[in-house]
């Protein structure tokens, strides 16, 4: 008998959240208001008191961080080719030049040696990505940034709840951007937040998220920077407030599921099937995703189709950004970042969400093994 479809990701929304959203909807104030302020305060408390501002995505957060840093035309920003395309798009959005550095085949994160090699006199910032919630070597990242006087915009979209040497990602460092998109460990349906360094940056973040407007008194409205429309609603913020009650449990549950994946695959899996498991990190990663890299003999589309036929949903995060048309038109081509190209071709995301049970993991692993045989 075939079992129910197991998606690769699914948000967990409890009845308390649904009731809280209803309350906001009935309250007469549904856009940015008291819930947004409370959510920002809660996130700030969670991140050791650093200043946090919320937005309507984890994409505009990074664009705004680049604007606050004064990065624009003529400036180079180094990032990874293996991320959601948003990470590179924001560099183009502010008129700066994206520079890619290849990834480490083991962590699948940006290779910090390659970052150093890519630095030129025009380099102004680095955007590292913590793929599936696994951070890069944060000590090394910030020592490179300090040595070359670069800003860091951490694309921590997937890394809320991840840590480095016992400190939460976002609780130290320069800018950190998180996403609350539906598939992320903590969601507001859509949304994001940016951790900034001081009150001046926070004021600028507020301006950029709402048309550049500053107000003082009843008729003192002024606009002195070109902002957009990026504010979070109270409807979204109240979802986030409820979700944050569970963040520690969610992280623990995901780590337990990841452990179960390793146990179910078993020690000989990589040797026998030629596939590559993720780094077995149960200390730093929040296990936003559990990703494996398929052997070259197995085309990803065939794998995904066969898994689908066994009622297992498989995700694909991510194709190498530099090979997308928009980037090829800017001179990037096949062969430039060979590690990213292979990973971008062969990586797949197995089911991972906090409502999963161990039997779901076993089902997914059995299916992977039968398809790879």
Which helix (H) or strand (E) is 176 found in, with range? Answer: strand 175-179
- Is the CB of 168 or the CB of 260 nearer to ligand PLP? 168
Q: Which of 75, 76, 111, 155 is the binder for ligand PLP (CB under 6 A)?
A: 155
Least distance (Å) between residue 317 CB and ligand PLP: 7
For the question of residue 184 being annotated catalytic, the response is yes
Q: What sign for the dihedral angle of Cα 63, 64, 65, 69?
A: positive
Count, in order, helices (H) and strands (E) of the chain: 14, 13
**Residue 233 carries which DSSP code?**
P
Which helix (H) or strand (E) is 123 found in, with range? Answer: strand 123-127
How far, in Å, CA of 133 to CA of 341, rounded? 21
Which helix (H) or strand (E) is 55 found in, with range? Answer: strand 51-55
User: How remote is the C-alpha of 57 from its chain's centroid?
Assistant: 11
CB atoms within 10 A of CB 326: 13
Tokens standing for residue 177: 């951007």
Alpha carbon distance, N-terminus to C-terminus of the chain:
22
Which of these segments, 6-14, 84-92, 207-215, 301-309, binds ligand PLP (CB under 6 A)? 84-92
- Is the CB of 123 or the CB of 187 nearer to ligand PLP? 187
What residues contact 227, with CB distance under 8 A and at least 6 apart?
A: 207, 208, 209, 210, 211, 212, 213
How far, in Å, CA of 175 to CA of 111, rounded? 20
Report yes or no: 365 and 331 within 8 Å, Cβ to Cβ.
no
Least distance (Å) between residue 353 CB and ligand PLP: 15
Report yes or no: 141 and 128 within 8 Å, Cβ to Cβ.
yes
Least distance (Å) between residue 164 CB and ligand PLP: 17
Number of residues forming the site for ligand PLP (CB under 6 A): 14
- Is the CB of 58 or the CB of 170 nearer to ligand PLP? 58
Instruction: Assess 79 for contact with ligand PLP (CB under 6 A).
Output: no
Least distance (Å) between residue 151 CB and ligand PLP: 17
Q: Which of 32, 109, 158, 162 is the binder for ligand PLP (CB under 6 A)?
A: 158
Q: Residues 41, 147, 184, 229: which is the catalytic one?
A: 184
Convert residues 163-192 into a mask of x (bound to ligand PLP by CB under 6 A) and - (unbound). ----------------x-x----------x
Instruction: Assess 9 for contact with ligand PLP (CB under 6 A).
Output: no
From the number of C-beta atoms within 10 Å of its C-beta (0-12, 13-18, 19+), residue 22 rates as exposed
Report yes or no: 334 and 344 within 8 Å, Cβ to Cβ.
no
282 three-state secondary structure: coil
164 three-state secondary structure: strand
Instruction: Assess 294 for contact with ligand PLP (CB under 6 A).
Output: no
Instruction: Assess 57 for contact with ligand PLP (CB under 6 A).
Output: yes
Instruction: Assess 109 for contact with ligand PLP (CB under 6 A).
Output: no
Which of these segments, 80-88, 140-148, 207-215, 363-371, binds ligand PLP (CB under 6 A)? 80-88
Q: What torsion do the CA atoms of 293, 295, 301, 307 make, to the nearest 10 degrees?
A: -80
Which of these segments, 4-12, 154-162, 263-271, 297-305, binds ligand PLP (CB under 6 A)? 154-162
Instruction: Assess 129 for contact with ligand PLP (CB under 6 A).
Output: yes
Which of these segments, 79-87, 232-240, 271-279, 297-305, binds ligand PLP (CB under 6 A)? 79-87
- Is the CB of 265 or the CB of 291 nearer to ligand PLP? 291
Q: Which of 58, 128, 278, 344 is the binder for ligand PLP (CB under 6 A)?
A: 58
List binders of ligand PLP among 191-220 (CB under 6 A).
192
- Is the CB of 17 or the CB of 61 nearer to ligand PLP? 61
Instruction: Assess 347 for contact with ligand PLP (CB under 6 A).
Output: no
Which residues contribute to the site for ligand PLP (CB under 6 A)? Answer: 57-59, 83-84, 86-87, 129, 155, 157-158, 179, 181, 192
- Which residues are known catalytic residues? 184
């Amino acid at each position: 008998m075939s079992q129910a479809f197991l998606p690769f990701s699914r948000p967990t929304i409890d009845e308390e959240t649904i009731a809280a959203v209803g309350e906001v909807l009935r309250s007469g104030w549904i856009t940015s208001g008291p819930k947004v302020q409370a959510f920002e305060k809660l996130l700030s408390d969670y991140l050791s008191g650093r200043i946090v501002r919320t937005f309507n995505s984890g994409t505009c957060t990074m664009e705004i961080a680049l604007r606050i840093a004064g990065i624009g035309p003529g400036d180079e920003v180094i990032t990874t080719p293996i991320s959601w395309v948003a990470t590179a798009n924001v560099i183009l959005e502010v008129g700066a030049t994206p520079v890619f550095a290849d990834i480490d085949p083991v962590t699948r994160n940006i290779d910090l040696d390659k970052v150093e090699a890519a630095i030129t006199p025009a380099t102004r910032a680095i955007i590292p990505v913590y793929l599936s919630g696994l951070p890069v070597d944060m000590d090394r990242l910030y020592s490179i940034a300090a040595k070359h006087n670069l800003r860091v915009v951490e694309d921590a979209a997937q890394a809320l709840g991840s840590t480095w040497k016992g400190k939460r990602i976002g609780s130290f460092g320069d800018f950190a951007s998180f996403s609350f998109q539906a598939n992320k460990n903590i969601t507001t349906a859509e949304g994001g937040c940016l951790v900034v360094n001081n009150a001046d940056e926070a004021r600028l973040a507020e301006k950029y998220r709402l048309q550049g407007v500053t107000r003082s008194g009843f008729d003192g409205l002024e606009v002195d920077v070109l902002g957009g429309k990026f504010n979070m609603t109270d409807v979204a913020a109240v979802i986030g407030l409820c979700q944050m009650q569970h963040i520690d449990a969610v992280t623990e549950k995901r780590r337990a599921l990841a452990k179960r994946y390793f146990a179910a695959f078993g020690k000989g899996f990589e040797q026998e099937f030629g596939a590559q498991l993720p780094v077995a990190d149960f200390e730093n990663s929040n296990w936003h995703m559990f990703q494996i890299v398929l052997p070259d003999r197995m085309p990803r589309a065939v794998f995904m189709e066969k898994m689908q036929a066994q009622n297992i949903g498989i995700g694909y995060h991510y194709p190498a950004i530099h090979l997308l048309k928009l980037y090829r038109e800017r001179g990037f081509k096949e062969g430039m970042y060979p590690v990213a190209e292979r990973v971008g071709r062969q990586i797949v995301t197995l089911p991972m969400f906090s409502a999963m049970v161990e039997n779901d993991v076993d089902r997914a692993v059995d299916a992977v093994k039968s398809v790879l045989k």
